[in-house]
Amino acid sequence: EPEVTQTPSHQVTQMGQEVILRCVPISNHLYFYWYRQILGQKVEFLVSFYNNEISEKSEIFDDQFSVERPDGSNFTLKIRSTKLEDSAMYFCASRGDSINYGYTFGSGTRLTVV
């Protein structure tokens, strides 16, 4: 069964450093998402991406965040200057062109900012 692949599985970084989280969505999917989940809290929407541009973003997704689809397969989330409160699980998800299709989530990247 097709999977969404995320790397790395765990990233530890110092406060103020830049991190790039990587995702390979399912190849024929059209919509891509980043979500995050702070430990013990619900999953929160960060950003959606369609047709090579951001289609929607949440209040969390401020100027420190950016997304890219540098080639036909990868989808990245960059945090320019990490803060302690950025520590969370970050999930990439993708789906096909019907909203009744399932969203497929990756296994996540656990980001720890120290």
For another protein, give the closer residue by CB, 7 or 81. 7
> Which residues sit at the interface with another protein, rule CB under 8 A?
4, 6, 31, 41-45, 48, 50, 55-56, 58, 89, 91, 99-100, 102-108, 110
For another protein, give the closer residue by CB, 76 or 81. 76
CB of 16 to another protein, least distance (A): 26
For another protein, give the closer residue by CB, 18 or 52. 52
Q: Which residues contact 62 (CB under 8 A, 6 or more apart)?
A: none
Integer Cα distance of 24 and 76 in angstroms: 9
CB of 66 to another protein, least distance (A): 17
Is 85 within 8 Å of 16 (Cβ atoms)?
no
Residue 68, CA atoms < 13 Å, CB-side half-sphere:
9
Secondary structure letter of residue 28 according to DSSP: T
